[in-house]
Structure 1
Amino acid sequence: MKTLYIVRHAKSSWKYSGIEDIDRPLKKRGIKDAHLMSKFLSKEIARPDVFISSSANRALHTGIIFCENLEYPLANLQINRQLYSFSDGYLVKTVYALDDAFNSAIIFSHDHGINTFVNKFGNTPIAHVSTCGIIGIKFQEKHWKNIKKGKTFMVEFPKNHK
């Protein structure tokens, strides 16, 4: 069995002009939400085997906060530039390429790609994954490259924890 947690990056700031989209930082609310959700997750699950983040500042900062609160070595956080995409294609490729030695993974990525992925691979329709939302899906497979439809067992958003 394989378990996947997909986390949409926390709320980012649009207040800085002249910076590239990939460099946008988290807002204060985003930082608070990332701590809130990662502390919640740390009490609910065993720490995932591998943490992977988009290279975008906002996703990476979210991942760093989750590493801290789930006591995952920051040096082991994998950064995947291809996850800085707003389609599910690279997210699917990233999951299919996971090492089968990992039974669980957590991925920090972006809107649209996440929404498409969780509806394609999970069994619970989700209209919109909010910022810092966490979706958990279990797959009855031994190999990541073989995952198809899984069972959505976690749908958590910050607004439900405030």
Structure 2
Amino acid sequence: MKTLYIVRHAKSSWEYKSVEDIDRPLKERGINDAHLMSNYLSETIKKPDVFVSSSANRALHTAIIFCHNFGYPLSNLYIKKQLYNFSDGYLVKTIKALDDNFDSAIIFSHDHGINTFVNKFGDKPIAHVPTCGIIGIQFENKHWKSIKKGKTVLIEFPKNHK
């Protein structure tokens, strides 16, 4: 069995007009939500075997907060430039390419790709995954490359923890 947790990056700031989209930082609310949700998750689930993040600043900062609160070494955090894409194609490719020695993974990515993925691969319809929302899906597969439809086992949004 494989278990996947997908985290949409925390709330980012649009305050800096001259900053490229990939470099947009988190807002204070985003930092607070990332701590809130990572603390909740670290008390609820077993630490995932691997942490993988988009290279975008907002996703990477969210991942770093989760790593810190899970006690996961930053040196083991995988950074995947291809996750900075707003379709589910690169998300699917990244997940299906995970090493089968990892039984669980947590991925930090972006809006449209996550929404499409969780509805295609999970068994519960989700209209919209908000910033710092977490979806957990279990797959009855031995190999990541074989995942198809899984069972949605976790749906958590920051508004439910405030």
Alignment of 1:17-28 (within 5 A): 17-28=17-28
Alignment of 1:111-150 (within 5 A): 111-150=111-150
Aligned residues: 162
**Which amino acid counterpart does residue 14 of structure 1 have in structure 2?**
W
Return the offset for 1:17: 1.0
d(CA) in 1 for partners of 2:78 and 2:97? 13
d(CA) in 2 for partners of 1:131 and 1:75? 25
**Which amino acid counterpart does residue 61 of structure 1 have in structure 2?**
H
Q: Specify the SS of the correspondent of 2:32.
A: helix
RMSD: 0.2
2:61 match? 61
Query: Is the counterpart of residue 4 in structure 1 residue 4 in structure 2?
Result: yes
How does the TM-score come out when normalised to structure 2?
A: 1.00
d(CA) in 1 for partners of 2:77 and 2:25? 18
Q: Specify the SS of the correspondent of 1:119.
A: helix
1:97 match? 97
**Which amino acid counterpart does residue 134 of structure 1 have in structure 2?**
I
**Which amino acid counterpart does residue 63 of structure 1 have in structure 2?**
A
Q: Specify the SS of the correspondent of 1:112.
A: helix
d(CA) in 2 for partners of 1:94 and 1:4? 12
Deviations 1:127-146 (A, max 9, x none): 00000000000000000000
d(CA) in 2 for partners of 1:54 and 1:74? 14
d(CA) in 2 for partners of 1:161 and 1:64? 20
**Percent of matched pairs sharing the same residue:** 78
Q: Specify the SS of the correspondent of 2:39.
A: helix
Runs of 4+ that moved beyond 2 A: none
Return the offset for 1:29: 0.1
**Which amino acid counterpart does residue 2 of structure 2 have in structure 1?**
K
**Which amino acid counterpart does residue 49 of structure 2 have in structure 1?**
D
Unaligned 5+ runs, structure 1:
none
d(CA) in 1 for partners of 2:122 and 2:145? 16
How does the TM-score come out when normalised to structure 1?
A: 1.00
Deviations 1:76-111 (A, max 9, x none): 000000000000000000000000000000000000
d(CA) in 2 for partners of 1:100 and 1:30? 32
2:87 match? 87
